[in-house]
Structure 1
Amino acid sequence: MIISPCISICKTDPKTGYCYGCGKNNDEKKMWKLVGTSEEWKKYNLITIQSRLEGWQLESFKDSYNHKIKNGISLYKKNLIK
């Protein structure tokens, strides 16, 4: 099962329409929540959204997403709990 790339930084850039945290647009956010969305679509979308991020934003996303996969919680949420 592919984990959602949402890392709890849910703010949309008004110019691009992409989330600052994960790089998804609103349609992609809806697709991730649908029960019938295929794992193949999710794999492709993970590649797509990462292509929208660069530099520190991409590295931050990767660190937080990998933490979420391993621990069930994004780094942002982990730091809120402290």
Structure 2
Amino acid sequence: MTAIESPCILVCSMDIKTGYCFGCGRTREEIAAWIGMTPQARRAVMEELPARLSTIERKPRRETRRRLIARTRAGEG
């Protein structure tokens, strides 16, 4: 039996509208329970993630430092 790795991509921010993580698409409950889930339960969640992620509006809710720097540099030109 092979272990199913976490789909986490270290973008841990929840979409208020859907309740899904912007990074991986899991709910808070699924994230918290992941370690204790059976491989079958993990597989079931993993199968749902692509559809979930397609429902999330992937806009950052706040300006990131990287984007601020890029915007500032663009304005200096």
User: TM-score normalized by structure 1?
Assistant: 0.59
Q: Which has the higher helix share?
A: 1
Take 1:20 and 1:43, find their aligned partners in 2: how far apart are those partners?
A: 19
Which residue of structure 1 aligns with residue 46 of structure 2? 46
Q: Identify unmatched segments of 5+ residues in structure 2.
A: 58-77
Partner letter of residue 50 of structure 1? Answer: P
Q: Please list the CA deviations of residues 25-63 of structure 1 after superposition, one character each: whole Å capped at 9, or x if unmatched.
A: 1111112122xx110111110011221122xx8xxxxxx
Identity between Structure 1 and Structure 2 (%): 36
- Between 1 and 2, higher relative CO (CA 8 Å, sep ≥ 6) is seen in 1
Larger-gyration structure (1/2): 2
Tell me the number of residue pairs that the alignment of Structure 1 and Structure 2 aligns. Answer: 54
User: TM-score normalized by structure 2?
Assistant: 0.62
Q: Identify unmatched segments of 5+ residues in structure 1.
A: 58-82
Instruction: Determine which of 24, 29, 32 is the counterpart of 2:31.
Output: 29
Take 2:51 and 2:34, find their aligned partners in 1: how far apart are those partners?
A: 18
